[in-house]
Amino acid sequence: MRAHFDAPQWGEANHVALSPLSFLQRAAIVYGNLPASTFGGVTRTWAEVALRVRSVAAGLAARGIGLGDTVSVLSPNCPELFELHYAVPLAGAVLNTINTRLEPETVAYILDHSDCRLVLADTTLAPLLRAAFALMGRALPIIDIGHGAGFGETGYDALVAAIPMEWALPADEGQAITLNYTSGTSGRPKGVIYHHRGAYLMALGTVAGWSLPQRPTYLSVVPMFHCNGWNHPWAMAIVGGHMIFAADMAPETLLQAMKDHGVTHLGAAPVILQMLCESPTAVPFSPRVKVMTAGAPPPPSVLEKAAAIGLEVMQVYGLTETYGHISQCLWQDDWSDLAPAEQAAKQAMQGVAFPMVEGIRVVDRDTGQNVRPDGLTQGEIAIRGNTVMKGYYKDPTATEAAFRDGWFWSGDAAVVHPDGYIQIRDRLKDVIISGGENVSSVEVEAVLYRHPAIKAAAVVARPHERWGEAPCAFVELREGAKTTEAEVIAFCRSHLAGFKTPKSVVFQELPKTATGKIQKFILRDTARALGSLV
């Protein structure tokens, strides 16, 4: 006789909202006397960090910040930004970390679009914030982070001085925890909503998928404005990790920090790996340092160099819309017998799903069927799991377009190899990835069209030895107009962040279809034929 079970009766005893806040609450007890963060000679334990987080959350609440309010942060990686990944959600609010490399126009757009209530900003970024406020035509309340000439109403230490609030998990694990903006691959950046449940499961999946041990020493390199530092600030609380913050991102500074603190783990874009490998101060690490890399497929040559200096690299793949990494290139034992170049080629694949991801498919969108696992047939990567965004903030049209048939569609084209490992072959979206940063060709073209001498413009990726890719502008001048490559680049630089500015300009008549649409595939071929920039 088959047993019959009633539907589960969920209650307080057997159903608790999943939130990374519980990781820190536990860390304060389990790892209370162990180091949690170190920066500038100051080390704080997990118990100290947890107490500061509770105080900062109370300080935010005293300033009227509560459920669903957006709190924006403009700061490089530092202990305060690490703490805010817990303090803002504890106050019930939504953390919005802003790319510090953006130009004032985009910062202004994000602050306005996100319905920001309060900004915490590093004092060194005060000029950027002032310029953004000027473009907005209004100012927002500011709290300064760090020392120096900021212009906030108070400093971060004032929040730390508040009487700590008690721990409280969200009533609904689907409540928003962060709002991360894409790089504007179709013009304006889109706000991607993460929830507590997804952040919790991403952190747990990272521990399992990366085989994080207890008490690792982690160098904070991945900017926390990129998918909340790939969710590593939350994962470190699970295992009692020690977060090391460097004074800057210069390769020599990072290498020295790795040596001084005995770093065991770090995350970094391929361009950072290349800079580390090519630094004159690089010497082989022993024991080896485990590295997670993402942002762009790493060149096999970089992976070879990384292995030579004792960096054990695992490539991962993901998007802002998936909380970061959702696939990993797990090392297979039979790869050990391959030559170094062949091993590096294997490591350059995007691999298989992380533990917290229900599924990754490579699909022929015309038929809806999975592509053949032959390493040749291309399809689009589709993803399903708890670490897929809730949707785009205030953009139901874009949200609807991103989801279909119960899957999130990435816009990335890939193949599946016979061993089940996926590998990206091309991008369906016209995105340029320069130094791990996504660049919208549409945004750059919009600036070029503002130049009085330019009649038409198109921007595509051109290979770059250091940054992987760089924007290459193809421009068609107005009749009788004259300008130079240097002048066009300078014009763009005055309106765009440095990584978005074209590194080369080609003057020619642009290839077009009969209806006048620019044929970018021809320009991409031309840019590749021009060779790599240095």
Q: List per-residue pLDDT tens for the chain, 534 residues long.
A: 677 777 777 788 888 999 999 999 999 999 999 999 999 999 999 999 999 999 999 999 999 999 999 999 999 999 999 999 999 999 999 999 999 989 999 999 999 999 999 999 999 999 999 999 999 999 999 999 997 778 888 999 999 999 999 999 999 999 999 999 987 544 688 999 999 999 999 999 999 999 999 999 999 999 999 999 999 999 999 999 999 999 999 999 999 999 999 999 999 988 888 889 989 999 999 999 999 998 766 777 788 889 999 999 999 999 999 999 999 999 999 999 998 878 888 888 889 999 989 999 999 988 999 999 999 888 999 999 999 999 999 999 999 999 999 999 998 888 899 999 998 876 666 678 888 887 877 788 888 988 999 988 899 999 998 888 999 999 999 889 999 999 999 999 999 999 999 999 999 999 875 445 678 889 999 999 999 998
Q: Mapping DSSP to helix (H, G, I), strand (E, B) and coil, where does residue 70 land?
A: strand
211 Cβ neighbours under 8 A, 6+ residues apart: none
Answer for the pair 365, 379: CB distance below 8 angstroms, yes or no: yes
pTM: 0.86
If you count them, how many residues does the chain have? 534
Distance of CA 444 to the CA centre of its chain: 21
Q: Do the Cβ atoms of 71 and 143 come closer than 8 Å?
A: no
Give the Cα separation of 13 and 369 in Å (integer): 43
| Token duo for residue 435 | 């130094």
Asked if the peptide bond before residue 471 counts as cis, ω within 30 degrees of 0, the response is no
Q: How far apart are CA 495 and CA 430, in angstroms?
A: 21
The burial class, CB within 10 Å (0-12 / 13-18 / 19+), for 460 is buried
- DSSP codes, 363-397: EETTTTEEPPSSSS--EEEEEEETTS-S-BTT-HH
Query: Which distant-in-sequence residues (6+ apart) come within 8 Å of 74 by Cβ?
Result: 98, 100, 107, 119, 120, 121, 122, 125, 128, 129
Which letter does DSSP use for residue 164 in this model?
A: P
Domains of the chain by range and CATH? 18-195 (3.40.50.12780), 358-427 (2.30.38.10), 431-529 (3.30.300.30)
Question: Residue 442's CB: how many other CB atoms inside 10 A?
Answer: 15
- pLDDT at residue number 266: 97
